[in-house]
Chain A
Amino acid sequence: MINRLLAYLGRHLDRQLLTLVSLLLVIGLITLYSASGTSLERVGAQLANISVALVVMWVAANVPLHYLSRIALPLYVLGLLLLVAVDLVGEIVNGAQRWLDLGFTRIQPSELMKIAVPLMLAWYFDRYEAVLKMSNFVVGAILLGVPVLLIAKQPDLGTALLVAAAGFYVLFLAGLSWKILIGLVVLGAASVPFLWSMLHDYQRQRVLTLLDPSQDPLGAGYHTIQSSIALGSGGLFGKGWLNGTQAHLDFLPERTTDFIFAVYGEEFGLLGNLVLLALFLVVIARGLVISANAPTLFTRLLAGAITLTLFTYVFVNIGMVAGILPVVGVPLPLISYGGTSLVTILFGVGLLMSIQTHRRLVQT
């Protein structure tokens, strides 16, 4: 009886993804326990976040694909409206206008766009699948560019880049011409000086700090220096769980959220890092496989974009902690403390599962 219920509940859940995600979540909880200074309260709160996110994942996995393509446009329009609303009446937190107060809760519309933009673009390209022309890519670029610019204006460069990346993956997978791609790269390189002048001071500082963290060891370079020390001092096998001095003596900033990987790397060393990288790699590989086997262009593009976005999160976060990318506010998927990120990521994972399982059902 119970077995049958479980089988029913799990019929749209991809075993492999579920196992990998569970492993990563457990690693995240273990690390969080250490990073929070053995705070069971923090771990409990994260467990609650995980529960909610798992439900979201389950729901997403059970949504039939045609429903999904139907909500793409409304979700995108809603997201856009909210972004405009934020621009007009948003709350200013930490000098950036990112939050929208709905009275009962505050939401960050830019977070929504991480899913809504690739969804919208995948839907759009799917619609014009048969006759994809240059003009479709121009429209796609505009669909992508508007929310990205709105988010960048908040200013939230990190999220803007992530949304841009998600959208770009759709464009790329949809078959954006190599000529244009190369042209974009050249254009991008050429516009660096212009972009530089557009950046806010703190954004420039982050980039400069990346080049030489020691210039401002107590200011902008502090994060990078301390996380490098944490990783480096971890060595091959790490200092052992709960023994990371950098974390436990408060040297690491934001060590339960954006910089949790530094805690992990300090306590579990190179070996631990290898395990974590491998797990993420397998998740990404699984996502790419799902994308490759997806039945429609819409699902293919969506699965590919979700998977590559997940990769981007992982790469940007770890790259930032390891000091090869500038410090941007990107949490490490499934590991960092925080509900929003978990829900977004697991929603994406749920979509992947849905694409995989509904295809299978269709086939059989």
Chain B
Amino acid sequence: MKRAVELRNHQRELYYYQIRLAIAGAVVLVAFLMLFTRFVYLQVVQHDYYHLLAEQNRVQIVPVVPNRGVIVDRNGVTLANNFAAYTLEITPAQVKNVNAVIDELARLVDITPKDRRRFQKLREVSPDFAGIPIRTRLNDEEVARFAVHRFRHPGVELNARLFRHYPNSEIASHVVGYIGRVSERDYLDLQRQGLGFNYSKSDYIGKVGLEARYEAQLRGVTGFEHVETDANGRSVRTLRSILPVPGDNLLLALDAKLQRVAEQAFGDHRGALVAIEPATGGVLALVSRPGFDPNLFVEGIEPAHWEALNKSPDHPLNNRAWQGVYPPGSTFKPFMALAGLELGKRTPSYSISDPGYFVLGSGGHVFRDWKAGGHGRVDMHLAIVQSCDTYFYGLAQDLGIDAIHQFIGQFGLGQRTGIDIDGEVGGLLPSQEWKQRRFKQKWFVGDTISVGIGQGYNLTTPLQLAHATAVLANNGRIFRPHVVQHIQDSQTRELTTIEPQPIGQVEFKEQNLRLIREAMVDVMRPGGTAAWAGSGAKYAFAGKTGTAQVIGLRGQKYDEDRIHERHRDHALFIAFAPAEDPKIALGILVENGGHGSSTAAPIARKVVDYYLLGIEPKPPAPPAPRPARTVAAAAAEAAPSPAAPPQEPAAAAADNDGGGE
């Protein structure tokens, strides 16, 4: 029975079984079809996309930063160069917990909060597969210590990198400037200029001075390496590399030694000095004191340093030489005199009797001379030598403001000189049109009078003073002042010279210039306002002192000893030498230096002595800590020999009185 049932059902069961098997087989087919469809999707439809991903996986494009060009002075003294040092870099993509890794590394090498901040900042702008420095400039011991533990820190690497270095520290800091990390704004600017390709956001860029102005030349062209990497981000091999092109070197007209002499001559004074070679417009020295150490900025300045620099009452970051504007004071007078001669308003022999003041019109405003009681009979020569205000008040009135503006404007006062450094300001040489535009006011004759002695609306930079003096010394030929003399291709060593190009000519008669020159030479001789600074010079030294008022005295008498140091007048000085064949022209400003003869002129003397004769000034006394230094002591220190008083104690100081009342 049982067997019969079995027999009866056997075929049917087998049939059912095979149907079920067939269903299973169909499921298998469908499943394999699904897989095949997926393959087609991945390997045909999406192939390009995945191919790209595989390449990106495999190949990373690593920028190779070019060596930045170096900056050297005219004698080959290095002002900015690069040195190689080890950095410790973390690649975030290869590290699970970046902060934990940093903490571990901190046990091996010194890692400051500043390092961490910089790391975080750079991390925000860098791709994750890029190495980001957590420590820069490791010393040998630190390198060795990390090397021993290297295997424990996957994703952390020791790399040799080049760092910018300014070996002279403060010397010429404003000129050379500094580089820093590319900021968000820098990067946008670069992209706007189409230069974004040449930088990554973790690169350096010139921020200030020549480093900024000549960024395009110094930078070079970034190279790229196509590096094949494994899943751990370690490079396996370089597939292709485009070598970076190193940046060009800058060879300056600047004389670093002269610069140093000039900066040291300032002592503790604030101020600026510009020395120009008249025959070429080459800038020999470009001083703004105090300076700062540009090395502090390269890796991002520490807040403490930043605060110190920013809050210092001396404002070391302010660039006084081409961004500071000051009334030219009596240094304006030689140009006034030349204008008077050229425009026929004065003859050399024309003289006035100076009562010590000038009255505008009949019974009008009184402009006082710096010398109470006056200079007596004064012709043009003496007016310059003794810096007689009264003479120039009258001359200014006779010339009129527009003639002054037109003639003296040719020398470049009150306008940008076009020097090859960014940020130059223009200053002001006033005119009727200017006042109308600026103040919607009519020009008054009284305005002209104080302009005649370099006060009033007049504003010039020390650079402009030097430039105008150089033009004067160079018989009116105008060269654009330039700091860089040659640009050197760092590979071929080929020099591209920036030829001195005369950009203009101020026309004046030879004999008129001679008169001015002789008067300026006599300024430095007994009887002149800077006789003391000129005494014993072994060359014909042409100069002119000046003073610029800092605060209005409201009728009070100016008494240097009683005024707060910061409220004292600025001392100014222009000079060129040797007078008959000028090799150097100077513009000097000493902030709160009193009057030009006592602080500014001696600095000029040291600079010219060194430049023409090679006489190095005595090394300055080692700076002792002087917390409670008195104003008088500071003044005494600044003056080379307090025992030798200037011939005219008040010198140009009282020039201010002109506009003071």
Q: Which residues of A contact B (CB under 8 A)?
A: 129-130, 169, 172-173, 175, 226, 228-236, 245-246, 249-251, 265, 269-270, 273-274, 277, 280-281, 284-285, 288, 291-292, 297, 300, 304, 308, 311, 315, 318-319, 322-324
A318 touches B35 (CB 8 A): yes
A235 touches B47 (CB 8 A): yes
Q: With A130-B5, A228-B42, A292-B18 as given contacts, are A233 and B53 in contact (CB-CB < 8 Å)?
A: yes
Please indicate the chain A residues that have their CB under 8 angstroms from the CB of B36 in the complex: 273-274, 277
**Is B20 interfacial (CB-CB < 8 Å)?**
yes
Name which of B24-32, B135-143, B180-188 contacts chain A: B24-32
B43 touches A235 (CB 8 A): yes
Chain A proximity of B530: nearest CB distance (Å): 75
B51 touches A233 (CB 8 A): yes
Task: Mark interface residues in B46-57 (1 if CB within 8 Å of A CB, else 0).
Answer: 110111011101
Chain B proximity of A333: nearest CB distance (Å): 14
A232 touches B51 (CB 8 A): yes
Other-chain contact of B47, A129, A173, A232 (Cβ < 8 Å): A232
Closest A-B pairs by Cβ, 6 of them: A232-B50, A233-B54, A250-B231, A250-B230, A232-B42, A249-B230
**Is B434 interfacial (CB-CB < 8 Å)?**
no
A-B contact pairs, 25 of them (CB 8 A): A130-B9, A173-B24, A175-B13, A175-B16, A175-B17, A175-B20, A231-B43, A232-B42, A232-B51, A232-B53, A233-B53, A233-B54, A236-B44, A245-B57, A249-B57, A273-B36, A273-B39, A281-B28, A281-B32, A311-B28, A311-B31, A319-B35, A323-B42, A324-B35, A324-B38
Beyond A232-B47, A281-B28, 10 additional pairs, beta carbon < 8 A: A130-B5, A228-B42, A228-B50, A233-B54, A246-B58, A265-B39, A270-B44, A277-B32, A281-B32, A292-B18
Please indicate the chain A residues that have their CB under 8 angstroms from the CB of B32 in the complex: 277, 280-281, 315
Chain B proximity of A315: nearest CB distance (Å): 5
A315 touches B16 (CB 8 A): no
A291 touches B57 (CB 8 A): no
Please indicate the chain B residues that have their CB under 8 angstroms from the CB of A173 in the complex: 17, 20-21, 24
Other-chain contact of A130, B6, B40, B42, B232 (Cβ < 8 Å): B6
Chain B proximity of A304: nearest CB distance (Å): 6
**Is B236 interfacial (CB-CB < 8 Å)?**
yes
The B contact surface, by secondary structure, is helix
Please indicate the chain A residues that have their CB under 8 angstroms from the CB of B9 in the complex: 130
A304 touches B230 (CB 8 A): no
The A contact surface, by secondary structure, is helix
Q: With A235-B47, A277-B36, A319-B35 as given contacts, are A304 and B21 in contact (CB-CB < 8 Å)?
A: yes
A246 touches B57 (CB 8 A): yes
Please indicate the chain A residues that have their CB under 8 angstroms from the CB of B58 in the complex: 245-246, 249, 251
Q: Give B277-298 interface residues, CB cut-off 8 Å to A.
A: none
Other-chain contact of A270, B43, B55, B229, B236 (Cβ < 8 Å): B43
Please indicate the chain A residues that have their CB under 8 angstroms from the CB of B231 in the complex: 226, 249-251
Bound CA span A129–B42, Å: 47
Please indicate the chain A residues that have their CB under 8 angstroms from the CB of B29 in the complex: 281
**Is B551 interfacial (CB-CB < 8 Å)?**
no
Please indicate the chain B residues that have their CB under 8 angstroms from the CB of A311 in the complex: 28, 31
Other-chain contact of A277, B20, B24, B35, B53 (Cβ < 8 Å): B35
Please indicate the chain A residues that have their CB under 8 angstroms from the CB of B50 in the complex: 228-229, 231-233
A288 touches B43 (CB 8 A): no
Which A residue's beta carbon lies closest to that of B5? A130
A235 touches B38 (CB 8 A): no
Chain B proximity of A290: nearest CB distance (Å): 10
Chain A proximity of B343: nearest CB distance (Å): 80
Chain B proximity of A133: nearest CB distance (Å): 14
Bound CA span A323–B39, Å: 10
Please indicate the chain A residues that have their CB under 8 angstroms from the CB of B57 in the complex: 226, 229, 245-246, 249, 251
Which A residue's beta carbon lies closest to that of B34? A324
Q: With A235-B51, A249-B57, A251-B57 as given contacts, are A270 and B39 in contact (CB-CB < 8 Å)?
A: yes
**Is B447 interfacial (CB-CB < 8 Å)?**
no
**Is B228 interfacial (CB-CB < 8 Å)?**
yes
Bound CA span A169–B36, Å: 24
Which interface residue of B2, B20, B25, B231 has the most chain A CB atoms within 10 A? B25
Which B residue's beta carbon lies closest to that of A239? B54
Chain B proximity of A89: nearest CB distance (Å): 34
